[in-house]
Amino acid sequence: MGKVALVFSGQGAQYSGMGKELYDCSPSAKAVFDMAEKLREGTLRQCFEGTAEELSVTVNTQPTVFATDLAAAEAVLEKGIRVDCAAGFSLGEIAALGFCGILTYEDAFRLVCKRAELMDKAAKATPGAMVAVMKISPEKTEQICAEFDECWPVNYNSPMQTVVAMNRDITEKFCDRVKAEKGRAKALAVSGAFHSPYMAEAAQGLSEFLQDMELSQAEVPLYSNFTAQPYEGDYISLITNQCKNPVKWQKTIENMIADGVDTFIEVGVGKTLSGLIKKINSEVKVFKVENKADLDALEI
């Protein structure tokens, strides 16, 4: 058997009730949620009872999805499963920082709360949008982006899916241009142009915030969104650059597989990453854990 990797989900699939079954069935998952509640009162209520509108607000989305991701990861460990490495998609990388031992769980949660605050502020200062482009290659998507000002590929998700961030005013023209190339364009329900130059001030704020935190060497290899390689060197630079630069998800998964991973477990909300991994490589084994049924069925 090859290596086992955890992949931590990003925001977008959050829903009321997320994590509740894990809270009730796993002492380790419960401990994560209780930690988050202690540091940010109301986190439990938002996870388990929050409205869709409430959970779509960035300052709520990021802490609640973080808690659910990390709780699911702890529940996997509780089953005795050995994890060899990890990666997190966008927000998911912050939860993975805690899991891999670079930050304590408490500091990782403080970081995600600050990240949400800073990204929300940046999004309000410069209105942006994000569009998922499907059925055409990343190279063709890059060519279309080059035809517009303030338009950037920011999530390289799979061979035929790239997410683009842009000035909100050009969204309709951009989508029409994609359709003219026989592609499919879907505007995402997000509040800003994340992972783009619009997030430069947020990245600077994160850098300043991290100066007062103790970052340790990774106990479990963590693959960076920014480099698609395991964390090494200047950890603060990797964390802050992730905020304003593209997520190289396809390359990350390809590199993990090249390094011996043949089993992926998506932890947290939804199954987006599971679907992307199958599109990148159909031969690897992919599981997901977001509730008790998933946990019970997990056999590696």
Catalytic positions? 90, 195
> How far apart are alpha carbons 36 and 227 in whole angstroms?
29
Beta bridge partners of 266: 7, 288
> How far apart are alpha carbons 192 and 292 in whole angstroms?
33
In single-letter form, the type of residue at position 181 comes to: E
Other C-beta atoms within 10 Å of 183: how many? 19
> How far apart are alpha carbons 111 and 97 in whole angstroms?
10
Other C-beta atoms within 10 Å of 234: how many? 11
What's the half-sphere exposure (Cβ side, CA atoms, 13 Å) at 122?
26
> How far apart are alpha carbons 84 and 180 in whole angstroms?
44
> How far apart are alpha carbons 283 and 263 in whole angstroms?
10
Nearest CA-CA partner of 164 in 181, 173, 151: 151
DSSP state for residue 168 in the 8-state scheme = G
Q: 235-244 vs 105-125: helix axis angle to the nearest 10?
A: 30
What does the block give as tokens for 267?
């932890």
DSSP state for residue 271 in the 8-state scheme = S
- Cα-based distances in Å from 288 to 253, 279, 296: 16, 16, 11
> How far apart are alpha carbons 135 and 161 in whole angstroms?
7
Pairing of strands 161-167, 151-158: antiparallel
